[in-house]
Structure 1
């Protein structure tokens, strides 16, 4: 049995900085929808976690120091199910482009996995704030297979 340090310090972190709830849209890759290639997303899930700032030296090391955008680390509770992890490029089939929506309605694109302890229940990802609300096409699941909703086009949403 491994020692889960994050679980040990989580109570101290939450005593000073409570977890927030986020809406999570997991990328399902791209698909041809009525002749247009669209990025598809799984229906929204609710997850918990909290943002922390990225240090200048970390951003410099990641070649993001000159970037004119808001970049944050996000510690979130994560499943050990490999298909549902918020993993960007590391997920099977190289699916990427997951989005997190904060309590203010701001969209954050997951751009990197900084620490993966999803087997222990958490993951740390780098997120970039999106100044424009992305157009997400939601692929509804009617049964256990990945099938689209009844009209076969997915659902566009601007939540």
Structure 2
């Protein structure tokens, strides 16, 4: 596949997650909730996760922001379901490496749609948009485990 076709496909995946976000919404009751924002661009997210016996059972988000920020949140909430806390945090580190244009382990996890965001590395100002939901997830899981 040519670079232009791949770039177009990635844009379509990002826009699909933006226009049709997965796991958008809120849980009722007492649930692990993290609120974060990116003051440089105004993106904000509320991430909620159901964690049981060290595993992320479910995740939802609400927020406002650009297509990169909200698409990333949609992709992330799909990807972490069923992972242990440590696996979810490790996936977040792999995602951060990808966003920074570093080599990353693409065999540890099936990143699926998340790989569509790798082009963000070319736009340093947008990296914080892409990583906002991931940082919220890390913060929540680290607080949950008392780290």
TM tier, smaller: under 0.3
User: Which of the two has higher C-alpha Rg?
Assistant: 1
Q: TM-score, normalised by structure 1?
A: 0.26
Q: TM-score, normalised by structure 2?
A: 0.28
Q: Indicate the structure whose relative CO is greater, using CA pairs within 8 Å and at least 6 residues apart.
A: 2
The structure with the largest strand share of the pair is 1
